[in-house]
Structure 1
Amino acid sequence: MSPEPTTAAPAGPVRGARTRTARVPTKPHGQWAVDGTEPLNGNEEFKLEDNGLNVRERIESTYAAGGFASIDPTDLHGRFRWWGLYTQRKPGIDGGRTATLSPEELEDEYFMLRVRVDGGQLTTDQLRVIGGISTEFARDTADLTDRQNIQLHWIRVEDVPEIWRRLEDVDLSTTEACGDVPRVILGSPVAGIAADEIIDPTPQILEIAERFIGDESLANLPRKYKTAITGHPSQDVVHEINDCAFVAVTHPELGIGYDLWVGGGLSTVPRLGERLGAFVTPDRVAEVWHGVIRIFRDYGYRRLRNKARLKFLLADWGTERFREVLETEYLDAPLPDGPAAPRPIGQGDHVGAHRQKDGLFYVGAAPAVGRVSGTTLTALADLAEAHGSTRIRTTPYQKVLVLDVAEDRVESLISGLDAIGLQARPSLFRRATIACTGIEFCKLAIVETKVNAARAIEQLEERLGALEPEIGRPITLHVNGCPNSCARIQTADIGLKGQLVTIDGEQVPGYQVHLGGGLASAERSEEAGLGRTVRGLKVPADGIADYAERVIRRYLADREHPDETFATWAHRADEEALQ
């Protein structure tokens, strides 16, 4: 049974509600607390009929034995996601057909499997198990995602029960790694070990995961719900684009806790999250998180799926009303007002060697746009252990960290990482480039991403490598295969959105360009903001490096002083300069 809403709609006006002159909608939004739970579309129907978490039993007892052909279509295209499984794209279907074919025509009889890594925290034993699963069941595929997960491909449903057994033997899972559920909890990759950490958020991350992940009452949300928690001054978890985020701050009277953010998200309608102005003590983080997610469950919009994210509710309610409802309907006591977190300090990707608070070192390394393999992951586990470490961290920037390395072993580790394709001293271009899955495996994609982005890195290193001292800081390049922004294109210095583009009268795979976006960081003089688009500016799929080189050289020539960031320049530059 799908859960019934636990709260009623607020009676009468609410403090801080916006005054609106627009017409009142004639159709209900599908808010459980207002309109009831009657489903208003096909997605809501299948979720109400059977909780997505229940599909695991059918996978284990029926589908694994019967194979792909035995899978019920609603389970295949709906509930499988609740256990981290999506069908992957059938090879050979070009991007021009993405929008014209049905999901059934696009899909292969293999799955992408997403391993959930809350807080990005892994042991070498866990990493070795994932590597072994990759080499045995996933054709040696593995991607580090910008949500700190690890994704595998070419998975057969027949092998899923054994994969789950192996993962769960080392306390890993795929539970709610996809679907209309609370997704992985982003956490600072240096939680508990950074010398400059404000607070270790690990206890809060573990409490939320242990209490609420797999909770049937939270397994039917309007759409996905993303969380981020950091206690590091670099604010290293892209908190502005999560549904609910907690950023470490010191309250003048109450001590160290968190600044609460809600309502961020990108995709085709990007919106940065907003502060509620509320201070959350560490012991109340799980309670507040639970309150925010239940607001989304009960008041979130369900009728139109393209408006079923928390950001749309926040846009209509405003922060004052949202806080009022949270405190009066979902929390045991109000939250005190609190200060905003200070400006970020330091690099949030944690690449390179850094001293820990215990005197040991952690080393952050960059693969090429997150693409690794099971062989690489196994080699990384072996290499870490050979250097005295049993702890690995993934990051929201498609990077990987090895913790607890003695100072006299750091250089040996860096050499070993380089030998397996993980660079701890990468070029600015390798360091600052990320890419989504792309057309190789994703049914939504229009354009290739990983291969194109990796090739662009090599070309930029060759063409602009000598200019790195003049460039000074990473210029972020994010490459996405469709408009959905899994690679965060609107928050990059150079963001590329995959689509069919017309160049010289011919329609070809390419990218629309977003320029000057970015989240809060020590490298930016600006606040977080979304990139601008330039009318008519399109880049062919094989022209990433050509465009990036051209616009970076123009930036270097036109910037007013060496400290002017790319984003500042991009927002003030004439359109001609950005072509």
Structure 2
Amino acid sequence: MTSTSHRRSEGQWAVDGHAPLNSNEVVKAEENGLHVRQRVINDYAARGFRSIPPDDLNGRLRWWGIYTQRRQGVPGGRTGSVSPEDLNDSHFMMRVRIDGLGLTVRQLRVLGDISTKFARGTADITDRQNLQFHWIEIESVPEIWRRLEAVGLSTVHACGDTPRGFLCSPVAGVAADEIIDPRPVIRQIKQRYIGREEISNLPRKFKTAITGSPTLDVLHEINDISLVGVRHPELGPGYDLWVAGALSVTPRLGERLGAFVTEEQAPDVWYAVIRLFREYGYRRLRSKARLKFLLADWGPQRFRQVLEDEFLGYRLPDGPAPAQPTGPSDHIGVHEQKDGRRYVGFAPTVGRLSGALLADIATAAQAAGSDRVAFTPQQKVIVLDVGETKVARLLATMERLGLTANPSPFRRSTLACTGLEFCKFAFVETKGLAARTIFELDRRLADVQLPAPISLNINGCPNSCARIQLADIGLKGQLQQNAEGTQEFIFQVHLGGGLESAQRGQAGLGRTLRGLKIGVAELPDYVERVSRRFVAEREPDESFAKWVQRAPEESLR
């Protein structure tokens, strides 16, 4: 597609060949990351952490959802300035891919048992509907895999340059207003492709989102591929195809290709997009190896043409865009299912659970007649299939467990990444800070009637795992020198982000004000101040994001 004359190689396989252009590509070319599994089982689990060579420790283990976690006691001031060996603990984070499909009570109990026995009780819901453990020892990994796989769960492709775990509407198949049930498509893709070597060496990670909910509950604008439920005037229910969204330090919203995808075509279209990325994605620089950079250079028209001509072999019909979202996408509270039963959404504090709590949730769900629990992209928990007469008992039980279906505004809308506690990229603490901030804001703002929750997203580094550009108030952890010349931890502030409509383009990624940075200790003061100003200055029916776009700078500082 691109002439090789007078251009620098970007490492595109279809253009430049397969010669590796950086150390990461060399490691991937030497051996597929999936092969490390047998070495874990046969060698590393027996010989221990020190037996793991660097290319496996810092590379291939990720293909099975395993990262070294941050060594305890290493301050944020050393992030980015010391070697991986100085930051590595001898324990691991392990990510279990859920793919948005929900969990049975049995699966939930197995996860709780793993947390208690092997992960010091840790269990965090990620903003991609997965579950993360910490403190995992390499000696325990084979047994953890055995227990997960016995109940149909896995860590394969949960990390690394692979197709990561999918986002799926957590109320797929039950929501009364659902356009199309996306679960059959996800199951087909998983069965056909996940764990295959041919898509286990991508330029970088590849994120998928599928929903049939008119609430648009999977943040489709920030995934590498999204299939969004729509009704075609002639072909009926299907999907609108979006590609190449991502955040991190160079955020870019995905774009519609204008193509309609039927349920039958969806697995083939997913496979075609991921192969296009494999063959044409940029591999020379890791910082440019996401699909968003290719789309920025090609544009959606050329992208669609290459997709259809080279990877699908047929034309996709044009189709309609999704309508504006019909309501809140976090599914908190009690909702009627299409079968007359109820689903109930509960709010943990920034997604933090424990092994004991997972077991208690399983017991509570079972007592309410349910065998299914789902996680959400907002780090929430939903119990599905609850009989109407059992809702009150479930609400009371979960409240005693610390999970509420009627959370305060900031408990409902605060998101936090892993942060300094375990992450090697972080500068600042996030989870504990977020919990303390929620408690303080609930106390301080008890007299304020917010028209809607103000989303507060806290990230420990610039990589935006907590989607700071999409929050009403997004906070990016940094280090800076203060007036005395010493380092201090601060947050850069993003304001008024959101995905009310991707047609807003970059306006959906929030507003930053020159020099607006706040210290960690100032966080509750700042959020309280801006929240009160919003309530005082907003026009009728004006959202926080819209107010931010017109508000004078002094109101936002």
Secondary structure at 1:88 match in 2:
strand
- Cα distance change, pair 120–460 in 1 and its aligned pair in 2 (3 A): farther
Query: What's 1:565 paired with?
Result: 543
Q: CA deviation at 1:10?
A: 6.3
Conservation of the 8 A alpha-carbon contact between 2:252 and 2:506:
no
Q: Deviation string for 1:76-97 (max 9, x for gaps)?
A: 0000000000000001111110
Higher deviation after alignment, 332-341 or 150-159:
332-341
Q: CA deviation at 1:405?
A: 0.8
Q: Deviation string for 1:6-25 (max 9, x for gaps)?
A: xxx4689xxxxxxxxxxx97
Letter in 1 for 2:489: P
Q: Deviation string for 1:285-324 (max 9, x for gaps)?
A: 0111111101100000000000000000000000000000
1:104 lines up with 2:82 in the alignment: no
1:66 lines up with 2:47 in the alignment: yes
1:531 lines up with 2:490 in the alignment: no
Q: Deviation string for 1:398-448 (max 9, x for gaps)?
A: 001001111111111111111112111101110000000000000000000
Return the match for 1:548 from 518, 523, 527: 527
- Cα distance change, pair 54–244 in 1 and its aligned pair in 2 (3 A): same
Conservation of the 8 A alpha-carbon contact between 1:120 and 1:148:
no
1:159 lines up with 2:170 in the alignment: no
1:128 lines up with 2:106 in the alignment: no
Distance 2:283 2:3 in 1: 21
Query: What's 2:459 paired with?
Result: 480
Q: CA deviation at 1:501?
A: 3.6
Q: Deviation string for 1:162-182 (max 9, x for gaps)?
A: 000000000000000000000
- Cα distance change, pair 205–150 in 1 and its aligned pair in 2 (3 A): same
Query: What's 1:206 paired with?
Result: 187
- Structure 2: which 5+ runs fail to align? none
Distance 1:448 1:269 in 2: 23
- Cα distance change, pair 521–328 in 1 and its aligned pair in 2 (3 A): closer
Equivalenced residues, count = 556
1:52 lines up with 2:33 in the alignment: yes
Query: What's 2:497 paired with?
Result: 517
Q: CA deviation at 1:543?
A: 2.3
Higher deviation after alignment, 56-65 or 526-535:
526-535
Query: What's 1:6 paired with?
Result: none
Distance 1:172 1:293 in 2: 23
Secondary structure at 1:133 match in 2:
helix
- Cα distance change, pair 527–45 in 1 and its aligned pair in 2 (3 A): closer
Distance 2:129 2:46 in 1: 32
- Cα distance change, pair 296–527 in 1 and its aligned pair in 2 (3 A): closer
Secondary structure at 1:256 match in 2:
strand
Q: What does 1:314-463 correspond to in 2, within 5 Å?
A: 314-463=295-444
Distance 2:139 2:505 in 1: 51
Secondary structure at 1:119 match in 2:
coil
Query: What's 1:490 paired with?
Result: 469
Conservation of the 8 A alpha-carbon contact between 2:253 and 2:505:
no
Return the match for 2:126 from 121, 141, 145: 145
Return the match for 2:94 from 98, 101, 113: 113
Letter in 1 for 2:59: G
Letter in 1 for 2:542: E
Q: CA deviation at 1:266?
A: 0.2
- Cα distance change, pair 521–149 in 1 and its aligned pair in 2 (3 A): farther
Distance 1:373 1:562 in 2: 42
Conservation of the 8 A alpha-carbon contact between 1:519 and 1:528:
no
Q: Deviation string for 1:157-215 (max 9, x for gaps)?
A: 00000000000000000000000000011100000001111111000011111111001
Conservation of the 8 A alpha-carbon contact between 2:448 and 2:532:
no
Distance 2:138 2:100 in 1: 28
Conservation of the 8 A alpha-carbon contact between 1:143 and 1:151:
yes
Secondary structure at 1:536 match in 2:
coil
- Cα distance change, pair 194–527 in 1 and its aligned pair in 2 (3 A): farther
Letter in 1 for 2:292: K
Query: What's 1:4 paired with?
Result: none
Conservation of the 8 A alpha-carbon contact between 1:246 and 1:260:
yes
Query: What's 2:24 paired with?
Result: 43
Secondary structure at 1:529 match in 2:
helix
Distance 2:132 2:331 in 1: 21
Secondary structure at 1:45 match in 2:
helix
Query: What's 1:277 paired with?
Result: 258
Distance 1:487 1:121 in 2: 21
- Cα distance change, pair 509–132 in 1 and its aligned pair in 2 (3 A): same
Distance 1:119 1:210 in 2: 15
- Cα distance change, pair 416–503 in 1 and its aligned pair in 2 (3 A): farther
Q: CA deviation at 1:387?
A: 1.1
Q: CA deviation at 1:504?
A: 5.5
Distance 1:527 1:414 in 2: 40
Letter in 2 for 1:101: V
Conservation of the 8 A alpha-carbon contact between 2:93 and 2:136:
yes
Distance 2:179 2:57 in 1: 44
- Cα distance change, pair 25–93 in 1 and its aligned pair in 2 (3 A): farther
Q: CA deviation at 1:538?
A: 0.9
Distance 1:528 1:166 in 2: 46
Secondary structure at 1:336 match in 2:
coil
**TM-score under structure 2 normalisation?**
0.98
Distance 1:544 1:486 in 2: 19
Query: What's 2:284 paired with?
Result: 303
Distance 1:395 1:43 in 2: 32
Letter in 2 for 1:517: G
Query: What's 1:500 paired with?
Result: 479
Distance 2:97 2:428 in 1: 26
Moved over 6 A (4+): 524-528
Conservation of the 8 A alpha-carbon contact between 1:118 and 1:209:
no
**TM-score under structure 1 normalisation?**
0.94
Q: Deviation string for 1:357-408 (max 9, x for gaps)?
A: 1111111001000111111101100111111111000100000100111111
Distance 1:379 1:74 in 2: 39
Return the match for 1:78 from 54, 59, 64: 59
Letter in 1 for 2:526: Y
Conservation of the 8 A alpha-carbon contact between 1:452 and 1:544:
no
Distance 2:316 2:280 in 1: 21
- Structure 1: which 5+ runs fail to align? 1-8, 13-23
1:222 lines up with 2:222 in the alignment: no
- Cα distance change, pair 477–120 in 1 and its aligned pair in 2 (3 A): farther
Q: CA deviation at 1:537?
A: 0.8
Letter in 1 for 2:160: G
Secondary structure at 1:467 match in 2:
coil
- Cα distance change, pair 316–285 in 1 and its aligned pair in 2 (3 A): same
Letter in 2 for 1:509: F
Q: Deviation string for 1:518-537 (max 9, x for gaps)?
A: 01389x99997101111111
Identity among equivalent positions (%) equals: 62
Distance 2:70 2:2 in 1: 45
